[in-house]
Structures are given as C-alpha cells and as structure tokens.
Amino acid sequence: MREPVLLVVAHGSRDPRHAATVHALVRRVRSLRPGLRVETGFLDFDVPSVRGVLESLDAQGVRDVVALPLLLTRAFHAKADIPAVLAQAPPRLRIHRADVLGPSPLLLTALERRLYEAGLTPADKSSTGVVLASAGSTDPEAIAVIADIAREWRHTGWRAVRPAFASASPPRTEDAVRDLRALGCGRVAVARYVLAPGRLPDRIARGAAGADVLADVLGPAPEVARVLLERYDGARMPLAAAASA
C-alpha cells in the first residue's frame, strides 16, 4: 500500500507571518520523515486552499490522504470548519482525519524550549510563575484542556502556572501576570501556547508587558514537528494494518 499523503490543514491569516511559520513547520516535518509527501492547505486567507489541494491530489491519482488539523485543541475549527471542507473532497479520495496536536508531553517540552530561548534556565523553575497563554475559545472542552495542561505543567517544577486567554474567555494574560505577582513569584514568564504569529498572539504579547519574560510562539519547534508525525502515524496505522491483514 502506498503511504498516504499528509495534508496539514492550517487556519490561515491576513498576517503573512502565519503562513511563513506554517511552511517552516512543514519543512521540518519533511526533514524528519524524508520520503513522506506533505502538503499544506489553508481554510482561509492564504493559498493553496484545502479544497484546491484535495482536487489537485485527486487529479494526480492519490487515493489516501491523512488530513491533520494544525490546531492545539478541539474547538470550533476542529469540530465544524475542517469536517465541512473535507466533506467536499473529491469522492475518489479516502480522507482519514488525524487528531489535533494537543495535549501532548512534547508540546510542554516545546513550551519550555521557548522559555529557555527567551532567557530562563532550568534553575529558574522553582521561583518562576508561568502564564500559559492560549488563543481562547467559546468551547468549554477546549478551555478545560488548557486548564488541565496548566495543572500538569505546574507539577514539573514551576513555582506556579496559570492559564490565560487572548479572546472569548477570562482571564486575560495581564490578569494572570498580576495574579502570579500577588502570589509572590520572584519572576513571571508568559508562554504563548499558539502555533504561529498573528493578531491573538500579538494580543498576548501586549498583555505580557508586566512580565519578566515573553516566549516566542511554538512555530517550527522540533517537538511540534514530532507531534505532527505522531498524529499522522496514529491515523495511518489502521490503514496499514488493514492492508497487511
């Protein structure tokens, strides 16, 4: 059986930094799995569109595609937008949906990588409070996942970890920063639990004005690329098992 094509489904943005970061992440995925065909499609704003990529793959004779949402939580885009666009795929294509990226221990490692790149060291953990700042959502499931990640991350040695959101749900980044100051944290850092630059990550950065450290977005961190491949493998393994049965 020919290995399915991996189609990374990104949201898209008017901010050109978004697409540039997505393409950098996809290049890293290709470097980790030479020979795997990886394509990128955008839901909005950027090209190529998801529908356009699917039509092109069909015209080339591809039959199996693993569609991987470039999302950290299962919120509206994962539950509605992406299924809707995949439902419009050419009928000869067999579309296999992979899970969203989060949660994953590898993403926590990527968050710490970004904090260390911003100036922290492992020795700083016990005195540092961290704001886990995400884009935000109206979906209760997505909000609960971020809160769970913050609790889990706290147990790895940080003085405290507080979730925050750039939109839809409180608290905001600046509120979480103040909360950690009031708690007596000697240092406050903001970790942006977002994949690419854009309007909401910039809002997080503005809210981090009172913090000591602001980490970069996750972007093409090697751990993120490894999560993409884990999700791809999880979606294609049933196919491989069926082919060998």
pLDDT at residue 237 is higher than 90: no
Residue type, 192: R
The pLDDT of residue 124:
97
Residue 229: its pLDDT value, please?
Answer: 98
For residues 201 and 141, the answer to whether their CB atoms sit within 8 Å is no
Answer whether residue 150 shows pLDDT above 60. yes
The closest of 172, 201, 173, 237 to 72, measured between CA atoms, is: 201
Residue 77 has pLDDT above 90, yes or no: no
Say yes or no to pLDDT of 1 above 70. Answer: no
Q: Residue 182: its pLDDT value, please?
A: 97
Average model confidence (pLDDT) across the chain: 95
pLDDT at residue 233 in the model: 97
CA distances from residue 15 to 39, 46, 75, 185, 243 in whole angstroms, order as listed = 20, 9, 22, 35, 42
Joined tokens for residue 174: 């600046």
Q: Write the pLDDT tens digit of every residue in 164-223.
A: 999 988 999 999 999 999 999 999 999 999 999 999 999 999 999 999 999 999 999 999
Over residues 110-114, the mean pLDDT reads: 98
Q: Is 66 helix (H, G, I), strand (E, B) or coil?
A: strand
Model confidence at 244: pLDDT above 60 = no
- Stretch 151-174: mean pLDDT: 96
Cα 40 to Cα 29, 48, 109, 229: the distances in Å are 12, 7, 25, 14
Tell me the C-alpha distance between 187 and 67, whole Å. Answer: 41
Closest CA to 192 of 217, 159, 219: 217
- pLDDT category, 240, cuts 50, 70, 90? low
Q: Are 23 and 40 in contact (CB under 8 A)?
A: yes
Q: What share of the chain is helix, strand, coil (3-state, %, to 5)?
A: 50, 20, 35
Band (pLDDT 50/70/90 cuts) for residue 242 is low
- 169: CB partners within 8 A, 6+ apart: 136, 137, 138, 143
Place of tokens 């750039």: 166
The more confidently predicted of residues 80 and 115 is 115
Q: Residue 48: which residues within 8 A CB-CB, separation 6 or more?
A: 40, 41, 42, 56
Q: For 132, what's the count of Cα atoms within 13 Å in the CB-facing half-sphere?
A: 23
- Mean pLDDT on 52-65: 98
- pLDDT score of 16 more than 60: yes
What's the gap between Cα 1 and its chain centre? 30
What predicted TM-score, i.e. pTM, was given to this entire model? 0.95
* Integer Cα distance of 93 and 67 in angstroms: 11
The Cα–Cα gap between 46 and 10 comes to 9
In this prediction, residues 68-97 reach a mean pLDDT of 92
